[in-house]
């Protein structure tokens, strides 16, 4: 076994430029780092800092038509990867150095089975015959704890969940026992419990194969949990490098200090009480008469199939969900992907068909939307998860923010223009930017534009669906501060949908925890975070990475399985959760029943 002190990849003074209409523009300036056998080096920084492009260059995967390595070396086993002929590099990639990409769905071939893609790697690099390659592929899927591994070999990527696809990517990258593994944001798109499983799995496999791991991430909690050493980068420059304990305890550079200061920390709000964002005289009235009341909300989607194109199965997305929302309050809906939280938010805006009862200001929204949909939409608006996808790329941002005013015929042209300019100022943007288009803004600025558009009609309620999940930590902190300032200024009520428990703790008055379409626990922020009653809530909290390398936790509540599928036969009867009798035994029974009756992916 190699010693940890022996560098296996040595990157020296690498500089990278991209081609623009004005000529070459430098995006990476003299990056220098190394990784040893069995060691984890975390490269941390925000989007656009040069983390991923440097790793792509090391792997020889930069698009030659648009990016150029202008200087530097990347030495692996005495050979410079940056000067290596493509034919030689094809054999080194996957065999000696491998990469786990951020989005597994776009990295896996959609028209090949999982087994074919794994066997292809072994035939190319190890010259294995079909039987040996199949046995090795099955062995690796079992090593990454894939459920029903033999069955997965015959399935296609779209038939697997996000966590399963990431397990396939890890298995594929380790098939040939590489010396170096580069993991580019491998858990960013995963729920907190699946992320915890992936991180634990990567640690375990790293120890088994003695692999040098380069982990690229902007999540400092993940850095604290995984890293031996840390390299902090910003805008193409190396900012700071050192042992993980010293970086977190005594960061020397202002950028590193800001990065750590802006990170939401679980438990930071412990012992505090958050008052409703309404005048003190109105608080008792707001508590007595909720602004929004939801009772037995149910959303199901039929799956059509067969020769006669009839319903053959049904997605039980939301099952008898009940809650209320007060004026000036933030109620967070939390849980893993597929738990029904986003569908619940869409049902509130009548964007999906639903059953049950939703009352806004004491009046059924079913009646509101039936009689005058435009009037109803003035009372409740939505901020979607992906700001770029929710903005029309052919319209200027000024027109996008003013569009609701035009549709609702509010004000004159000049009054609408003044209103949009005021909204831009309110969300921290300049009116001078009104004529620009969405692609000319950063991710954080686009999210501010979406917030301005949601505010255009002076709604009472805003549904924020994972509105900060894709943002870097410093931009996320700015947007969260903005949302809270607007709530205090305008008395807004928020339905805040998220799987990030640290962010939820920061913004919430109350929290509802969802699992398999049902609310398993609901209560004040203090109750949920300081004294959780439900095992699933405890598992979510326990899975959150702690941004302190001195704290190492043993996770006892997490299982290695996937959340059961919400797809069931037409005769399926849900096992509803009785909030009055929540016990660990009851939760286990509900989970077991759901798993047994769920459609196997």
Does residue 49 or residue 559 have the better pLDDT?
A: 49
Do 484 and 552 have their domain in common? yes
270 falls within a domain: no
163 falls within a domain: yes
Do 341 and 393 have their domain in common? no
Judge whether residue 417 has pLDDT over 70: yes
pLDDT in tens, 81-101: 999 999 999 999 999 999 998
**Per-residue model confidence (pLDDT) at position 563:** 63
pLDDT in tens, 207-233: 888 999 999 988 888 899 899 999 999
Do 449 and 491 have their domain in common? no
Do 35 and 70 have their domain in common? yes
**Per-residue model confidence (pLDDT) at position 189:** 64
Do 207 and 121 have their domain in common? yes
Return the SS3 of 154. coil
- Grade residue 554 by pLDDT with cuts at 50, 70 and 90: low
Region 405-414 average pLDDT: 93
Do 25 and 118 have their domain in common? yes
Does residue 463 or residue 170 have the better pLDDT?
A: 463
64 falls within a domain: yes
The overall average pLDDT reported for the chain is 87
Judge whether residue 4 has pLDDT over 60: no
Do 36 and 169 have their domain in common? yes
The C-alpha atoms of residue 285 and residue 327 are separated, in whole angstroms, by 9
Does residue 468 or residue 508 have the better pLDDT?
A: 508
Does residue 307 or residue 334 have the better pLDDT?
A: 334
Do 452 and 506 have their domain in common? no
CA-to-CA separations, 133 to 113, 172, 223, 325, in angstroms, rounded: 14, 12, 35, 56
The C-alpha atoms of residue 258 and residue 274 are separated, in whole angstroms, by 25
Q: Which of 458, 481, 510 is the last residue of a domain?
A: 458
- Grade residue 385 by pLDDT with cuts at 50, 70 and 90: confident
- State both tokens at 489: 């200024």
- Grade residue 577 by pLDDT with cuts at 50, 70 and 90: low
162 falls within a domain: yes
196 burial level (CB within 10 Å; 0-12, 13-18, 19+)? buried
Judge whether residue 377 has pLDDT over 60: yes
Judge whether residue 592 has pLDDT over 60: no
| Contact residues for 488 (Cβ-Cβ < 8 A; gap 6+) | 277
Does residue 197 or residue 327 have the better pLDDT?
A: 327
- State both tokens at 519: 């609310």
- Grade residue 373 by pLDDT with cuts at 50, 70 and 90: confident
pLDDT in tens, 106-151: 889 999 999 999 999 999 999 999 999 999 999 999 888 787 889 9
Judge whether residue 517 has pLDDT over 50: yes
279 falls within a domain: no
- Per the structure, how many domains does the chain have? 3
Do 118 and 32 have their domain in common? yes
Lowest mean pLDDT among 80-94, 249-263, 426-440, 559-573: 559-573
Percentage of the chain exceeding pLDDT 70? 93
Question: What CATH number is associated with residue 553?
Answer: 3.40.50.300
Give the count of beta carbons closer than 10 Å to the beta carbon of residue 38. Answer: 19
- Grade residue 594 by pLDDT with cuts at 50, 70 and 90: very low
Domain that holds residue 418: 386-458
Q: Which of 418, 441, 458 is the last residue of a domain?
A: 458
Region 195-205 average pLDDT: 83
**Per-residue model confidence (pLDDT) at position 588:** 52
154 falls within a domain: yes
CA-to-CA separations, 126 to 118, 132, 260, 452, 554, in angstroms, rounded: 12, 10, 44, 56, 37
Lowest mean pLDDT among 260-269, 444-453, 490-499, 586-595: 586-595
286 falls within a domain: no
**Per-residue model confidence (pLDDT) at position 558:** 45
- Grade residue 562 by pLDDT with cuts at 50, 70 and 90: low
281 falls within a domain: no
Do 72 and 127 have their domain in common? yes
Degrees to nearest 5, angle at CA 238 with 265 and 79: 120
Q: What is the DSSP string of 175-224?
A: TT--SEEEEESTTTTS-HHHHHHHHHHHHHHHHHHT-EEEEEES-HHHHH
pLDDT in tens, 150-164: 999 999 998 887 778
| Maximum mean pLDDT: which of 378-387, 524-533, 539-548, 572-581 | 524-533
Do 411 and 531 have their domain in common? no
Judge whether residue 508 has pLDDT over 90: yes
Bridge partners, residue 332, by sequence:
496, 511
Q: Which of 408, 431, 458 is the last residue of a domain?
A: 458
| Maximum mean pLDDT: which of 42-56, 183-197, 398-412 | 398-412
Do 499 and 416 have their domain in common? no
């Amino acid at each position: 076994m190699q010693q940890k002190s022996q560098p296996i990849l040595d990157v020296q003074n690498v500089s990278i430029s991209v081609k623009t209409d004005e000529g070459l523009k430098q995006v990476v300036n003299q990056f220098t780092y190394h990784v040893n056998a069995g060691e984890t080096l975390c490269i941390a920084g925000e989007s656009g800092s040069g983390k991923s492009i440097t790793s792509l260059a090391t792997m020889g995967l930069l698009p030659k038509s648009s990016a150029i390595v202008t200087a530097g070396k990347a030495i692996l086993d005495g050979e410079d990867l940056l000067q290596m002929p493509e034919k030689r590099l094809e054999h080194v990639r996957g065999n000696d150095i491998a990469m786990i990409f951020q989005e597994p769905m776009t990295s896996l071939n959609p028209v090949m089975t999982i087994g074919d893609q794994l066997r292809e790697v072994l035939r190319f690099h190890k010259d294995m015959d079909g039987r040996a390659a199949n046995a090795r592929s099955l062995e690796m899927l079992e090593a990454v704890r894939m459920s029903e591994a033999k069955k997965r070999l015959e399935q296609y990527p779209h038939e697997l969940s996000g966590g399963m696809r990431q397990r396939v990517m890890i298995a594929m990258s380790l098939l040939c026992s590489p010396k170096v593994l580069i993991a580019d944001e491998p858990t960013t798109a995963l729920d907190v419990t699946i992320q915890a499983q992936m991180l634990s799995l990567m640690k375990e496999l790293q120890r088994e194969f003695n692999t040098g791991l380069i982990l690229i991430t902007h999540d400092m909690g993940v850095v604290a949990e995984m890293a031996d050493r840390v390299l902090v980068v910003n805008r193409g420059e190396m900012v700071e490098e050192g042992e993980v304990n010293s970086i977190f305890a005594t960061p020397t550079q202002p950028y590193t200090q800001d990065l750590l200061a802006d990170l939401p920390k679980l438990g930071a709000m412990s012992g505090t009480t958050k008052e409703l964002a309404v005048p003190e005289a109105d608080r008792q009235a707001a508590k007595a008469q909720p602004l929004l009341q939801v009772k037995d909300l149910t959303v199901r989607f039929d799956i059509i199939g067969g020769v006669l194109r009839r319903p053959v199965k049904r997605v039980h997305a939301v099952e008898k969900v009940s809650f209320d929302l007060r004026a000036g309050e933030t109620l967070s809906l939390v849980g893993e992907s597929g738990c029904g939280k986003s569908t619940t938010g869409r049902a509130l805006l009548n964007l999906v068909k639903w059953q049950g009862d939703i009352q806004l200001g004491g009046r059924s929204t079913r009646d509101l939307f039936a009689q005058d949909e435009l009037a109803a939409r003035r009372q409740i608006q939505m901020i979607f998860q992906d700001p770029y996808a929710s903005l029309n790329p052919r319209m200027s941002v000024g027109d996008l923010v003013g569009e609701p005013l035009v549709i609702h015929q509010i004000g004159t042209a000049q009054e609408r223009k003044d209103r949009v300019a005021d909204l831009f100022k309110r969300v921290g943007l300049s009116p001078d930017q009104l004529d620009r288009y969405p692609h000319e803004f950063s991710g954080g600025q686009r999210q501010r534009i979406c917030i301005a558009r949601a505010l255009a009609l002076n709604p009472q309620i805003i549904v924020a669906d994972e509105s900060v999940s894709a943002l870097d930590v410093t931009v996320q902190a700015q947007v969260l501060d903005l949302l809270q300032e607007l709530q205090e200024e305008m008395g807004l009520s928020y339905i805040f949908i998220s799987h990030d428990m640290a962010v939820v703790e920061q913004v919430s008055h109350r929290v509802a925890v969802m699992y398999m379409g049902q609310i398993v626990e609901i209560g004040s922020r203090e109750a949920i975070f300081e004294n959780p009653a439900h095992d699933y809530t405890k598992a979510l909290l326990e899975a959150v990475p702690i941004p302190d390398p001195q704290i190492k936790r043993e996770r006892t509540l997490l299982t290695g399985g996937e959340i059961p599928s919400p797809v069931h036969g037409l005769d399926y009867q849900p096992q509803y959760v009785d909030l009055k009798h929540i016990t660990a035994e009851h939760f286990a029974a509900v989970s077991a029943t759901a798993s047994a009756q769920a459609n196997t992916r």
